[in-house]
Amino acid sequence: MKHSDSNATQRPLFSEGALRHDWTVAEVVEIIETPLTELLFQAQTVTRANFPAGVVEGAQLLSIKTGACPEDCAYCPQSAHYETFLTPEKLMDAESILSEAVKAKESGATRFCMGAAWRSPSDKQVDAVSEAIEGVSALGLETCVTLGMLSEPQAQTLANAGLDFYNHNLDTSPEFYGQIITTRTYEDRLDTLDACRTAGLSLCTGGIVGMGESRRDRAGLLTQLAALDPHPESVPINLLIKVPGTPLHAKLQAEPDDLPGLELVRTIAAARIVMPGSVVRLSAGREGMSDELHALCFQAGANSIFLGDRLLTADNAGEDTDERLLNDLGMTLADQPLSHQARPSVPEGASS
């Protein structure tokens, strides 16, 4: 057992009072590897400096066009490259999307996210989604869509329709990316984020953990996200759902050790520390998580969850489960999107 010197000099985890965009991978690895109780303390200190305590945002996610995607993302059941359980479905009409948005609002969601399985939409498809965005926005819900790669004019069309956020995940580090996707480059993803920023859209961009990546890859993802200026307003952290028929299901079945829950917690805490004003979203993979792991993720700085029993194509925890969980933890759903409340700042005196 190691013994520490209680009088050892404490070194800051980050530059006090300054938001940074120049984190190195080595620095973020060091944050992830901080003793867990200290890491959680630091992450919660940052969270409370920027957001109301004990409050999580409720979002709802709807697949508005499912399957037949030409991309080869190794985790995704919607890829046309793999034989999975999905039956492709065409784009939903705006009226049907609006009906689902009304239900989401009634269940306590303040944010409504729409996903279409496209590599890059046509202008006509963007126009159709824009009609739905206008209707959802009129309900008073924060809006987010993910449609694949966009041009600057397409991003502007979505912004003109009232879109708040565009979701386009980086997925993982640049070094590990080629083992997950070959049909779209890392630079393609960054170009779409640039197009959305140019159009004045807020960014929702994060990644997936548990794909066989290393801790350094997880740090590399966070380094890339934090390099964006400003930081992404929304950072989803997804835990891989191993879907039969996808390459990662086959690969990881032979390596049955899932990502340890505490590694997810450490990744969320590091995201909170390096991007203090971002809403960190505990996204896919919650269905199999214990109450205790949820609690640690919230302590680490996660402050948004998807409500309902369905994500794009995967099962989610469900409304009854989430209501019981939040009640047991003494937490509440936000009555407005947390991005409206964030005050990006680094608390004085936070150190390790």
pLDDT in tens, 241-269: 888 888 888 888 766 668 999 999 999 99
* Res 352 pLDDT > 90: no
pLDDT of residue 345: 64
pLDDT of residue 13: 55
Say whether 76 is catalytic.
Answer: yes
Instruction: Dump pLDDT digits (tens) for 173-213.
Output: 999 999 999 999 999 999 999 999 999 999 999 999 999 99
pTM for the whole structure: 0.89
Does domain 33-332 fall under CATH 3.20.20.70? My reply is: yes
Say whether 113 is catalytic.
Answer: yes
Would you tell me how many other CB atoms lie within 10 Å of the CB of residue 229? 10
pLDDT of residue 83: 80
pLDDT of residue 250: 81
Say whether 196 is catalytic.
Answer: no
Reading the block at residue 63, the tokens are 């697949």
Residue 350, amino acid: A
* Res 20 pLDDT > 70: yes
Active-site pick, 11, 20, 48, 69: 69
Active-site pick, 144, 196, 218, 272: 144
* Res 6 pLDDT > 60: no
Active-site pick, 189, 197, 204, 266: 204
3-state SS string for 7-76: CCCCCCCCCCCCCCCCCCHHHHHHHHCCCHHHHHHHHHHHHHHHCCCCEEEEEEEEEEEECCECCCCCCC
Chain Cα centroid distance, residue 194: 18
Active-site pick, 113, 197, 218, 266: 113
Query: How many residues would you count in the chain?
Result: 352
- pLDDT-derived band at 130 (thresholds 50, 70, 90) equals very high
Active-site pick, 111, 189, 218, 281: 281
Mean pLDDT of 283-302: 93
User: Where in the chain does DSSP place strands (E)?
Assistant: 55-65, 111-116, 142-146, 165-167, 202-204, 207-209, 234-239, 279-282, 304-306, 332-333
Say whether 297 is catalytic.
Answer: no
* Res 171 pLDDT > 80: yes
Residue 58, amino acid: G
Q: Compute the distance between CA of residue 265 and CA of residue 10 in angstroms, rounded to an integer.
A: 23
Write down the residue that tokens 């999905």 correspond to: 86
Residue 277, amino acid: G
* Res 85 pLDDT > 90: no
pLDDT of residue 26: 97
Say whether 73 is catalytic.
Answer: yes
- pLDDT-derived band at 35 (thresholds 50, 70, 90) equals very high
pLDDT of residue 72: 85
